[in-house]
Structure formats: structure tokens, C-alpha cells
């Protein structure tokens, strides 16, 4: 008889090699298994003998299209009974098992990763593998993984690897079925914060066998844990994952803002909370395109009290406040200035967000003060949002991702606005020059102004005194004469 651990291991092997996920090994799958594990093809006659042998002793172990899991387990039991244990051990070794029938550490490791200095992301090849895995377990081909389909995927390993709180962190449909984008995002999220754990998952799912790779290294891109700016000149693959801190006091609307990134308005968010009895999500992740380049933006909710600036390390910061509460803005203002004081020139871009705009009751006086504060600090004006709408606008999330990707750049050039009177000419000129200075374009502005003045002067001279213009053209001739 096979031991329980041996049955578990061989069941995993069978599910991994069942490439189409129909619960039966067809001839092609048996042939590939034979060649990959024993380095020799399985002749048609031998294949027929195997089927007949199983059918004779275990009729339900064979179907018209191939052999079932029970048939495969019986085949290994027959090998062991006949003293051919090496046939079973050869397979178990191929799929990473050690003498204790546990996956070996070397089989589950990312050898190129140094957790102390590196961040990991799922690579292009790793993404391709995950998409194939998604299609394999999407039995009804509706481009969604229902709860039963997802649990079937996880059953490849008896180890419980992914918790239930993922429903709130990634994109799903209204019935909580996992989308392709959500599936890939889920693994990008786990890889970013816990690459060793993610490698363990991919090893259990059979990445090395299905991708014909000797290890897991090709499933990950590894980057030094440094700001985006430092990574731009690197020869490494461009980073895909962006981390954004969402900072605000209790009741500011952080959770609603974060879940809005998944396209969930307040109505959908309440349905999710009725379905899942968990705390508000700590992280939200989704795909976003920044100038036609795919990125993954992670929104991380920070704690409300005694927040240390060192805990705010990220690629971009989002300071969110209740647009109807001055105390809420004072809170984020305090942490913004504390962050700037701590990091100085090493600080990352920041964006202020005025949430709950549908509750404003002071005629917008607070927002005007916030705009003035942002202008004084040289940052973009606050975004004004509400998720109490049918469709949550996505432009704010794109702006956060763009600010992080092009660190220090402004995603919009917003000329200061004036009241109904438009302001005097002096006010306009003064505000325009300050606007240029804030965006470090003062030198370019001066060059443009000087060129315009010089051009106007030449036109004026040509009209009033052409002789002077001719003298200016001949001004350099005496110099050449002296050199001669």
C-alpha cells in the first residue's frame, strides 16, 4: 500500500501533468510525462499494455481518453509491489521531493534573490505561466475563476497557501469570481511583499515542470530595493510594481478610495463587506497603463496613529482627507511636513486627495485653503473625489502611478486660475512667472522672453532705421581685420 504522504505527492504530480485539467491523462500527456521523467519515449504497444493492466485490476482507473488519478496511483503501487521502487522515486525526485516526501528547499528557492536588498516581481515568463494556469482551471471558459475553480487550483497542493482576504485586494466581478487581471495582480502582490512565499506557491503548482526550467529564477525579475529614479539607468528589466502609501486619519475615506481602484463604488463595497467578514484590506492592487506601459499599482493603507516616517517608505504618497473636515486635513498636513522633514531631497512625490466631496458643506472654503497650501509647497492641487457615484473615476490612480514612474515630473501643467474678473495684467504676469519657477522652468522661460524681446527689437529697428541694422551686421568685420 502507498503511504498517505506518497499518495499526496503522486496526486500533485498527476494534477500538474494533466495539462488540460480534465482529470484524465491522455496519450499526449502520458508521452510527455514519460519523456520528461524517464528520458525515453513510451511506445504505442507499451502504452496499450499499461492501459490493459490497469483496466484488468481497476476498471474505473481507465477511461476512453486515458488513465485517471486512481489508475495512476494503482500503477505506482504495482511498481512498488514488483520491487521497482526506483520508477516511483525517479518521478518524485523530478518533482522536487526529498527523502521525507517534502519539497526540497533547493526546488522552492529563488537563488538570485537576496531579500535584504532586493524586491521581486513576477517576470514576463512567470506571467505567461500564470495565464496558462488560469486558463487550465477556468473550466467553463468564462474568463473568470469562480470560488470552486479557484479552490480546485489550490488543491494541486495540500498546503494552504492563500487566505480568503484576497477577495478584497484584487479585481473580481460582482459575484466575487476572480478575473485574469485580478489573478495576475494577486501573485504580483505576494511576490512584492513575500517573494519566498510566492516561490513556494509556484513550486507547488509545478512551474519548473510545466515551463521546462531547472529552477524558479525565470519566474521572477529581481531589482534592488531603491527608488524608481535610481532604477532608470540600470541594466535590469524595468520595474512594473509601484507602491503607494495611502495616509489619512480614521474616517477620511482611505478604504473606500482604495477599493475604488478596483472599480467598486460604495454600493459594491457594502456587498463585499456583507460577503466577507474581515477587516478592511491592508493592500489593494490592480493593473494600470502608464503611457502604454503596463504597471501594477499597490495602494497600502497606513495606520492612523503614531506613524513613523520610516514606515512611509514608498514610490509615491497619497495624503487623503475628508473634504468636509478641517481636522482631517490638519492630520495629513502634519504627516506630510514630518515626512518632508525626515527625507528631504530623498522624498518621493506626493498627492493630496479630498475625499467625500459629496459631503462638502462650507462652500469649498477648506478646499481653497488646501489649494493655496499645495501651491505654496510646489505640488499639484488636490484631487477632489467621491466614490458615492455609479462609476469611480480612474484618473487619480493614473496620476499616482505616473508621478512614481516619472519621479518628480508633473503629469499636468496647471496654470493658476483667476476669479471671474480674470485678474489684472500684473497679477497674471506675476502668477505666470511664479508658475514657471515652481516647475523649474524659469531658465527656459527667460530664454524665451529674451528671444521675443530681441526679435521685437530687430523688427522695430528694421522699420525705423535700416542703416543701424546694416551696421550691426557688419560689426564683426573690424575684428577679423585685426586678426588678419
In DSSP terms, which residues pair with 220 in a beta bridge? Answer: 122
The two beta strands, 66-68 and 383-384, are unpaired
pLDDT digits (tens, 9 = 90+) for 410-469: 444 343 444 444 445 555 555 555 555 545 444 565 666 677 777 777 666 666 666 655
Mean pLDDT of 182-206: 93
Cell of 309: 516616517
Closest to 67 measured CA to CA, from 34, 107, 115, 101: 34
List strand residue ranges (DSSP E) for 332-453, in order: 350-355, 383-384
pLDDT number for residue 180 = 96
- What is the rounded distance in angstroms from the CA atom of residue 248 to the CA atom of residue 78? 64
Cell of 287: 493593473
Q: Is residue 24 over pLDDT 50?
A: yes
**What does the mean pLDDT of the chain come to?**
82
Q: Looking at per-residue confidence, does 221 or 281 come out higher?
A: 221
pLDDT digits (tens, 9 = 90+) for 155-191: 887 666 565 567 789 999 888 899 999 999 999 999 9
pLDDT number for residue 229 = 53
pLDDT above 90 covers what percent of the chain? 48
Mean pLDDT of 32-49: 91
pLDDT number for residue 236 = 58
Mean pLDDT of 23-35: 93
pLDDT digits (tens, 9 = 90+) for 90-108: 999 999 999 999 999 999 9
pLDDT digits (tens, 9 = 90+) for 336-359: 998 888 877 677 899 999 988 777
pLDDT above 70 covers what percent of the chain? 78
**Distance (Å) of CA 187 to CA 123, 127, 184, 392, 409:** 11, 9, 5, 25, 30
Determine how many CB atoms are found less than 10 A away from the CB of residue 39. Answer: 8
Cell of 445: 522661460
- Cβ proximity of 129 and 219 under 8 Å: yes
- What is the rounded distance in angstroms from the CA atom of residue 126 to the CA atom of residue 207? 9
pLDDT digits (tens, 9 = 90+) for 226-253: 665 544 555 556 889 999 999 999 988 8
Confidence grade of residue 128 (pLDDT, cut at 50, 70, 90): very high
Name 383's Cβ contacts closer than 8 Å, sequence gap at least 6.
Answer: 351, 352, 353, 354, 396, 399
pLDDT number for residue 339 = 84
Amino acid at each position: 500500500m502507498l503511504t498517505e504522504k506518497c499518495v499526496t505527492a503522486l496526486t500533485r504530480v498527476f494534477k500538474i501533468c494533466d495539462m488540460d485539467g480534465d482529470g484524465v491523462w491522455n496519450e499526449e500527456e502520458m508521452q510527455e510525462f514519460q519523456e520528461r521523467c524517464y528520458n525515453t519515449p513510451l511506445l504505442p504497444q507499451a502504452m496499450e499494455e499499461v492501459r490493459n493492466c490497469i483496466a484488468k485490476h481497476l476498471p474505473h482507473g481507465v477511461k476512453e481518453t486515458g488513465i485517471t488519478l486512481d489508475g495512476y496511483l494503482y500503477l505506482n503501487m504495482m511498481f512498488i509491489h514488483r520491487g521497482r521502487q526506483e520508477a516511483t522515486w525517479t518521478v518524485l525526485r523530478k518533482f522536487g521531493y526529498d527523502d521525507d516526501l517534502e519539497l526540497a528547499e533547493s526546488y522552492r528557492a529563488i537563488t538570485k534573490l537576496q531579500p535584504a536588498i532586493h524586491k521581486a516581481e513576477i517576470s514576463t515568463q512567470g506571467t505567461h505561466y500564470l495565464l496558462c494556469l488560469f486558463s487550465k482551471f477556468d473550466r467553463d471558459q468564462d474568463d473568470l475563476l469562480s470560488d470552486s475553480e479557484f479552490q480546485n487550483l489550490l488543491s494541486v497542493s495540500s498546503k494552504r497557501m492563500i487566505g480568503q482576504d484576497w477577495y478584497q485586494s484584487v479585481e473580481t466581478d460582482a459575484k466575487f469570481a476572480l478575473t485574469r487581471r485580478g489573478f495576475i495582480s494577486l501573485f504580483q502582490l505576494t511576490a512584492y511583499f513575500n517573494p519566498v512565499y510566492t516561490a513556494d506557491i509556484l513550486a507547488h503548482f509545478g512551474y519548473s515542470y510545466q515551463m521546462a526550467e531547472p529552477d524558479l529564477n525565470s519566474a521572477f525579475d529581481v531589482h534592488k530595493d531603491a527608488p524608481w529614479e535610481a532604477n532608470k539607468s540600470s541594466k535590469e528589466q524595468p520595474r512594473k510594481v509601484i507602491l503607494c502609501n495611502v495616509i489619512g486619519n480614521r474616517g477620511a475615506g482611505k478604504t473606500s478610495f482604495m477599493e475604488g481602484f478596483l472599480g467598486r463604488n460604495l454600493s459594491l463595497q457594502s456587498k463585499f463587506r456583507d460577503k466577507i467578514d474581515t477587516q478592511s484590506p491592508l493592500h489593494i492592487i490592480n493593473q494600470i497603463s502608464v503611457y502604454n506601459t503596463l504597471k501594477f499599482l499597490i495602494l497600502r493603507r497606513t495606520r492612523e496613529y503614531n506613524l513613523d516616517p520610516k514606515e512611509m517608505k514608498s514610490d509615491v504618497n497619497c495624503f487623503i482627507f475628508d473634504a468636509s473636515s478641517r481636522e482631517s486635513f490638519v492630520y495629513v498636513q502634519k504627516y506630510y511636513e514630518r515626512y518632508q522633514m525626515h527625507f528631504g531631497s530623498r522624498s518621493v512625490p506626493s498627492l493630496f486627495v479630498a475625499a467625500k466631496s459629496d459631503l462638502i458643506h462650507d462652500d469649498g472654503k477648506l478646499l481653497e485653503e488646501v489649494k493655496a497650501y499645495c501651491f505654496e509647497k510646489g505640488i499639484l492641487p488636490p484631487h477632489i473625489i467621491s466614490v458615492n457615484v455609479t462609476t469611480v473615476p480612474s484618473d487619480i490612480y493614473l496620476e499616482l502611478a505616473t508621478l512614481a514612474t516619472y519621479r518628480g515630473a508633473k503629469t499636468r501643467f496647471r496654470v493658476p486660475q483667476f476669479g471671474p474678473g480674470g485678474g489684472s495684467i500684473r497679477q497674471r504676469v506675476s502668477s505666470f512667472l511664479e508658475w514657471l519657477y515652481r516647475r523649474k522652468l524659469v531658465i527656459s522661460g527667460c530664454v524665451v522672453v529674451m528671444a521675443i524681446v530681441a526679435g521685437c527689437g530687430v523688427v522695430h529697428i528694421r522699420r525705423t532705421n535700416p542703416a543701424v541694422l546694416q551696421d550691426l551686421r557688419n560689426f564683426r568685420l573690424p575684428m577679423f581685420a585685426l586678426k588678419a
